[in-house]
Amino acid sequence: VADHQDCPLCRDLGGAVLFDDGRLRVVRVLPADDIDAARFPGFCRVIWNAHVKEMTDLAHGDRVHLMDVVFRVEAALRDTLNPVKINLASLGNMTPHVHWHVIPRYAADPAYPKPIWAVPAVPQLGTLQRDMSQENDMLAWSRAVTAALQR
């Protein structure tokens, strides 16, 4: 129980929820939650709702379901954003609660070709630079991810 009380993914949603089926949720990472979000358009997380530390703590059917959702999010982001690469990452050193980062990468993004965590965060620069066309793009991919999961 002590784990849960200190866990950000038990305490908070971890972003704007695009999909939730009870077992897991898919969120759009918000600048307020993670400073990198504004610099990496399309950054989503697939978060197991229960506090579970490792993939091998999940039952087989739950693992299969989780990865199926990760791949559906990946496909929706590829279709709508056409990134150079998708990064799938599950680290959990800071937050030992099963979650996958799904991160579209672009040749012009601030860290490419390194992992997004390889560059220091720039305070809210991306937020200041955001304009209406980017807002519209964001809505398009967010809706595509939700639609892909409801099929």
Contact with Zn ion (CB under 5 A) among 25, 45, 97, 101: 97
As beta bridge partners, residue 16 has 28
In the bound state, the residue with its beta carbon closest to Zn ion is: 7
Q: Least CB distance from residue 7 to Zn ion, whole Å?
A: 3
Q: Least CB distance from residue 11 to Zn ion, whole Å?
A: 8
Q: Could you say whether residue 13 binds Zn ion (CB under 5 A)?
A: no
d(CA 27, CA 131) in angstroms, rounded, equals 22
Q: Least CB distance from residue 133 to Zn ion, whole Å?
A: 36
Q: Is 99 or 105 the residue whose CB approaches Zn ion more closely?
A: 99
Q: Could you say whether residue 9 binds Zn ion (CB under 5 A)?
A: yes
Which contacts of 65-72 are long-range, i.e. CB under 8 A and separated by 24 or more positions?
65/23, 65/24, 66/23, 66/24, 66/98, 66/100, 69/19, 69/24, 69/26, 69/149, 70/46, 70/100, 70/102, 72/148, 72/149
Q: Is 9 or 76 the residue whose CB approaches Zn ion more closely?
A: 9
* Interface residue list for Zn ion (CB under 5 A): 7, 9-10, 51, 97
